[in-house]
Amino acid sequence: MAVHFINPNKTSSFINVLNSDPEFKIAARYMTKDVCIEVGKTKCIVKFRDGVITQMKSENAFADPWDFAIRGSVDAWEKFLQPIPPRFYDGIFGGMIRGNFVLEGDTVSAFSHFWAVTRMLDIFRELQNK
C-alpha cells in the first residue's frame, strides 16, 4: 500500500482539504511550526503558518529544518492509515507508548499543538481511504 500523504502529486489536494476542514481550522489556530512526518526514510515537512498549512514537502526534504518530528516505519504508517487501525497504531500517543512511533525535537511545541497534529493525521487517513 502506498502512503498517499508523501506522494508529491497529491500534496496540493491534501493541503486544500486540511485547510478547509472545520475542526482542523480550530485545532491549528496560532500554530506556526514546521513538522516532520517521517515514513521510513522519507521525510514530509509540513509548514504551518498562523494556523494554515502553507506547504507539504516530501521531495528533497532531507535537509529541511523542523521543530518536531514524528517518525515511524512504512509498516507502522500503513497500519495507522487503515480505516480501522489495529491496536497500538490507532493513535500517535498510544503508538509512542508501545514504541511504534517516535516523537523528537521540541516536544513542548508538539504537545501544545497536539490537537492540530492528530487531526491532520486523521485527515491523512480519511484521504488515504477515499
Residue numbers at the binding site for other proteins (CB under 8 A)? 27, 84-85, 87-88, 90-95, 97-98, 107-109, 111-119
- Between 12 and 112, whose beta carbon lies closer to other proteins? 112
> Between 56 and 121, whose beta carbon lies closer to other proteins?
121
List residues bridging with 53 in a β-sheet: 48
CA-derived radius of gyration, the chain:
13
Residues 6+ apart with CB under 8 A from 35: 45, 46, 48, 66, 67, 68, 69, 70, 117
As measured in angstroms, the least distance from the Cβ of 33 to other proteins is 13
CB nearer to other proteins: pick between 91 and 105: 91
CB of 127 to other proteins, least distance (A): 16
Nearer to other proteins, 5 or 80 (CB): 80
Looking at this protein, which amino acid is placed at residue 26?
Answer: I
CA 57 to chain centre: 12
The single-letter code of the amino acid at 80 is F
Give min distance, CB of 27 to other proteins, in A: 7
